[in-house]
Amino acid sequence: MRAALLIQRWYRQYVARLEMRRRCTWNIFQSIEYAGEQDQIKLYNFFSYLMEHFTPASSERSLISHIFRENDVVHDTEWERYFCYKNIEVSDGYHGPHLTFPMTFCEASKLVEAFKHKQLLHSRYVLQLLGEAWKLLRILPNINHVCTCHSKEITICGDLHGQLEDLLLVFYKNGLPSPEKPYVFNGDFVDRGKSSMEILLILFAFLLVYPNDVHLNRGNHEDHIVNLRYGFTKEVLGKYRVHGKKILKLLHKMFSWLPLATVIDGKVLVVHGGISDTTDLNIIARMERHKYVSALRPPKRRHQSAGGNRRSPRCTEGGEERSHHGAGGDGPGPGSRHGVQRRSLHGGAAVEEELRRRRQQAGLSQSLHELRRLVSSSSSSADDDDDSDPQPRTPDRDEWNQMVALLWSDPMAQDGCEPNQVRGGGCYWGPDVTEEVLGRHHLQLLIRSHECKQDGYEFCHNRKVLTIFSASNYYEVGSNRGAYIRMGPDLVPHFIQYQSSQTCRNLTLRQSVGRTERSALCALREQLFAHKSDLLCAFQHYDSNNTGTISLKHWASAMEGVLKLGLPWRVLRSQLGTSTQDGMLDYREWIQELVFSEPKHELSNASILETMYRNHSNLETIFRIIDTDHSGLLSFEEFRQTWKLLSTHLKMEVDDEAIADLALSIDFNKDGSIDINEFMEAFRLVALTAPS
C-alpha cells in the first residue's frame, strides 16, 4: 500500500512538472505572438500618422499612400469589369480541376479532392469563383440569423489560419457542408499557414452551393494590411505570379463584405473576437461593413468632383491597376440572403424598387432619395492626383469601434472593459460586460475564436463565453489540439478535438512537451539575440562596478524591461543557459551563448544588422508595401527608401552609406535590383545549436 502511494505521489509530481513546463512554453509562444501583433498595429499607426501629418509631396507619404486607397469607394460594376476572367485562357498543359458554373456540390467536392492532392486551381477559375462569391457576399446581412431543427446540428469552426489539413480533417470527421450539415466558419481563414488560398476557395465554393447552410464571419486577419505581415499576400503572389495582384485586389474587396456575426436560434452569438461595453447589435446590423477594407483604420472617402468625373479601375496590358478612386457607393448596404444575383444600380424604376426592397429586408430606414441626397451632399471637388490628400467625411467613430471590438477583443477574468494593450487593438472585457451585453440582446452564450487554446476550446465568464480554435499544432507540432463545436436545438455545445499531425499522435506526453518547449525556447532566444545591445546596456545599468555580474533579480528585471513579454524570467533562466555562482550571473558570458548563424554577407555597420534582426517582420511589411507592382524586386532607390521609412518609424539614424553597402552586398547577380524573398531569407536567424 505504501509503495502504491509513493508511486502515485511521484506520478502526480511528474505530471505537475510537465504541466508547468507546458504552461510556461505556452506563455512564451503567446507573448511573442501578441508582441508581433502589437508591433504590426504600431507600424500601421505610424503610416496613418504620415498620411495625416506629412504633406502630399513628401517622399515618406507617397511611399505608403496606396495602401490607404484600399478604403476608397468606387462602383461595384467598375470593379467587376476590372476582375473579368474571360480573357484568361486555360492552356492544354493545365492538369488541375476544371470548374463549371453555377457551382454544384460535385464541383465543390472535386475542388476539395484536388487540393488534397496538392493541385493548383487555374487563375481563370479562381477569378470566376471569387467573382461569383463576391456577388453573393454583397447581398448578405451583417448578422446572419440561422436556426437549428430537430433533425440537424450546426457545426462551428474557429481559426484555420491557412492549415488545410485541419479543414480536411474536420470534413473527414464531420462531413462536407450540406443542408443536413450546416457550418459556421468564424474567421481567420488566412495567414500563417501555407494553404490560405485553398481554404478560401473551398469555403467560397460551398457558400455558392449552399448559401443558406454555410456562414462565414470575418476575422481580424481578413484584412489586407495584416496580410502583408503574416504571409497571405506572399502566398497569393507566389502561387499566381501573372494574375496574383488582381486576385489579391478582389479578395480585399471580398473580405470587406464578409458578414460580421452569426446568431443561432436567437440565443447564441458567434463573432470572431468579442465584444465591448458599447457593443450594440442594432448598430452592427445597420453599418456599411464594406467601408472597412481594413478594420485598423476608419474609412476616409475621396469625394467626387463637381463635374462628376470619377477615376475607375483600369488595366495596363500586364493587368496592373493604375487607379481606382471614386465617390460612388458600393451599393445600398447589406442586404438579404435571399437571391444571389445583384443588379447594377444605375437608373430604371425596377432597380430603384429592388434597392428599396433590399434595404427594407436589411432593416435600413433611409429611402433611396435620402441616400442619394447624402451621397450628393458629401460629393465635392477632388484633385485627381494619386498623391493628393483625401478630404474625408468625419468617420463614425462609434461604428468603427464596434467593428474593431468584434474582430480584435479578448475576454479577461476581471470585471470592466479596458483597451487591449497586449495585442494593440480591441479591448479586454470582463464577466460583467458579458452579462450586460448578452442580457440586453436576450442571448445566453457568446462563441468566439481569435485565441489559440491548448485543448482547442475554453469556457470563461461563468460558461457564458466559449472560445473555439480549429488550427491544431498552431505554434509547433504538439503545441495544441484543434476543435470544433456541434450544437443542436438544445444549444448545448459538444466538442470534437483532433490533431492533424500523425507525428504528434505518435509522441508520448513527455516527448510532445519537450519538442514544443525546445521550439518555444528557440523562438525566445531569437528575440534575445535581436536585442543584444539593449540587453547589454540594461545589464550594465545594474553593474555599477563593472564586474560583469549581476544578481538574478536584476537580470530578470532587465530582461522584462527590454523585451516586455511578461514572462517568468527567473524560472526560465536555467533553460536559457549560464549557471549562477553565489546568486550572481555572468551576463557577458550569457550573451555570448546566444549563438545564431551570422549572414554570409559581411556588413560594415553592425547596428543595421541588429536592427534588421529585431525588425525583420516590419522590414518585410514595408518591402511589400513599396513593391507596388508585386514583382518581388526592389531597386536600390526603393531599398534605400524602405530603410529611411523604417528609421523614421524607429526614431533612429541610418547612414546612407551603410544602406548602400548593404544593398551592394546582397545584389547577387549585380543587376541593380534586390529580390525581397532572398534578402529576408539571407538575414533570417538560424540557431547553430539547439538550446539545452
Strands (E), 438-531: 445-448, 457-460, 465-468, 482-487, 493-498
Distance CA 469, CA 278 (A): 25
Number of H helices, E strands in the chain: 26, 18
Which three cell numbers mark 585? 550571473
Is residue 133 within 8 Å of 165, Cβ to Cβ? no
Is residue 501 within 8 Å of 479, Cβ to Cβ? no
Name the catalytic one among 221, 252, 272, 290: 221
Task: Find the length of the chain.
Answer: 692
Q: How, if at all, do strands 183-185 and 445-448 pair?
A: unpaired
Distance CA 388, CA 416 (A): 42
Q: Measured over all CA atoms, what is the biggest interatomic distance in the chain, rounded to whole angstroms?
A: 94
Distances from the Cα of 663 to the Cα of 199, 622, 631, 644, angstroms: 37, 16, 18, 13
- 555: helix, strand or coil: helix
Is residue 526 within 8 Å of 35, Cβ to Cβ? no
Distance CA 102, CA 683 (A): 47
Nearest to 157 by CA among 129, 124, 199, 211: 199
Q: Among this protein's residues, is 221 annotated catalytic?
A: yes
Query: CB under 8 Å to 653, separation ≥6 — which residues?
Result: 647
Give the Cα-Cα-Cα angle 506, 508, 514 (nearest 5 degrees). 110
Q: What share of the chain is helix, strand, coil (3-state, %, to 5)?
A: 45, 10, 40
Is residue 500 within 8 Å of 670, Cβ to Cβ? no
Supply the residues annotated as catalytic.
221
